[in-house]
A and B are shown apart, each in its own frame.
Chain A
């Protein structure tokens, strides 16, 4: 259908972008601090070069929207430990591949573990991991289940597919997390932000409605935004308008993908396989009902119950400011390690390694 393609193409029209910018510049009176909680938004903003176009009155802060960044260091160690066990074949999204654990002597990342002989494959879809299990019946294939609400339905569906196909050598190590509980925990502390740019694709699943409690409780304007330059500009414009009129509600700027109710079917699939549990968030500590564990009915697909994995207790790397950066309290510039001891080649904390991490994005794209 030419129409959809045309519409999508027109969203990249420079004329539209310039007009939206003009509206923003024309409308904005007071300074506004906007937090975005989606790593893909962080990257998109940098990639489009939006900061160079936006008026100085708009301050954009990166929150805990990067699932790799918020994974506790001890968890990473656990992944590496698992990878090094014989008979185990690990499958992971590329995002996790170079994230450092805390070990100094042994392999300090999945990449290093792979270099030292561990069987680890990067996959684009959890279904690929299932295919790996079917192709290698003498191995136990473990998929590292990382990601927020956009990704969890795909993993849940894969577990159901595994059950359907009777695959016995496949399991998921779930470190999935939920976005709204983290945001609520975040805003319980003293935060001075004026608006929330809500994640686009997480919202496709949970619906724009999911942010209503936040808007109501904290008087926080919330706008769901997409990832084209025009999408982000439109969302910012809507936040500015709310802010300037003293209004705090949830609005949806990404209507072509996000609805008020979200994707109920996807949520049902998740509910079937997972249930909420407490989870450790780097920089935020333990947050109740913010993670997903695999239900007992599917325990044969649960790496934690199958393998009796030990959670390695480890603290944050010394000097690393990732925690404060995730909460939007500090900028990478404030971190004594940034650009010196902590670089994309030799990262200390996940914020620098993950391609979406605030520090990595800052390092790659920011104005020096």
Chain B
């Protein structure tokens, strides 16, 4: 795996040793089984690197190192594998988070699905940074770092081999530089960050609202979405609020930090479309409502199962 050159990996020991600065250890793991493995904007490799980096980043950690586990189905074309490895190497390098240890296994044809990837990651959360759903309180503002549903719709379109042409691509990217910029300046005013992956913005906010025992009110008109993505959702009968995002984060902050937070986010390319999408209120625990484009109000519930395209 020459593309993954780095000192720790090059030692070829059974495990990597890392010098860690002071702070609390953040540790996360995730497995990636997406189908199709290649899609506009990225592939399963990018997702695997960015996904775990982001999981660490959302708790305020500085990601330090990743592990990479590959389970390959016999028959996976070598060219495909190389492409994925190259992507992983590039993503890791760009993010500045090395892959220090890894493992590869091959299973017989039919016992896997081309390639499964597991990445685990460690990071350090500096003292004084305490983020999580339980910090969220009434009066907080909810910010989304950019346009929603990009990844989810890309997968839907790619999976169904639909002949839609248009700039529809996954938003997969590492967000730790953005999150660190926020947590370094927040001074306690940053309460929670979450990347709305599976289940989309709606499900993630419902989860936070449930855990924090708060209510939320969202503004549909304020949620950034690309016109092509909106169109594709309309054509397929999909709700963008429930489609996955792989390069965006929800940021919940105290009211007095809102302007600064927006400024910090919009200064970075990852957050240039950051916008306020709602606020946290006192009310029925876990209740999330949205003001619709038409001016009405309705409830938002968590997604159960995968979103399905519909015609009827």
Contacts and interface: CB of A to CB of B under 8 A. Distances in A.
B206 to A, nearest CB: 11
- Going nearest first, the 7 A-B pairs with the smallest beta carbon separation are A49-B296, A229-B294, A49-B298, A94-B308, A48-B294, A94-B309, A49-B292
B292 A48 contact: yes
B15 to A, nearest CB: 37
A245 interface: no
Given A124-B162, A345-B304, A94 B295 contact: no
B299 A94 contact: no
A344 B305 contact: yes
A344 B304 contact: yes
**Which of the listed residues A39, A66, A343, A364 has the most CB atoms from chain B within 10 Å of its own CB?**
A364
B312 A40 contact: yes
Given A66-B312, A98-B305, A366 B292 contact: no
For chain A, which range describes its interface: under 10, 10 to 19, 20 to 34, or 35 or more residues? 35 or more
Interface in A308-344: 343-344
A49 B297 contact: yes
Interface residues of B, number: 25
A147 B294 contact: no
Contacts of B290: 49
Interface of B: 160-162, 235-237, 287, 290-299, 301, 304-305, 308-312
Contact of A93 (B162, B305, B311): B311
Nearest to B239: A47
Given A367-B298, A368-B299, 17 more contacts: A51-B296, A52-B296, A52-B298, A53-B296, A67-B312, A68-B312, A93-B309, A95-B310, A97-B308, A122-B308, A229-B296, A344-B305, A354-B312, A355-B310, A356-B310, A356-B312, A368-B287
A17 B294 contact: yes
Contacts of B162: 124, 128
Given A147-B312, A354-B312, A18 B160 contact: no
A51 B295 CA distance: 11
A365 B298 contact: yes
B297 A52 contact: yes
A102 to B, nearest CB: 20
Contacts, number: 100
Contact of B304 (A12, A40, A51, A343): A343
Interface of A: 12, 14, 17-18, 39-40, 46-53, 66-68, 93-95, 97-98, 122-124, 128, 146-148, 151, 229, 343-345, 354-356, 363-368
A97 B311 CA distance: 12
A172 B309 CA distance: 20
A133 to B, nearest CB: 14
A14 B299 contact: no
B308 A14 contact: no
Contacts of A229: 292-296
A354 B311 CA distance: 11
**Which of the listed residues A40, A48, A51, A366 has the most CB atoms from chain B within 10 Å of its own CB?**
A48
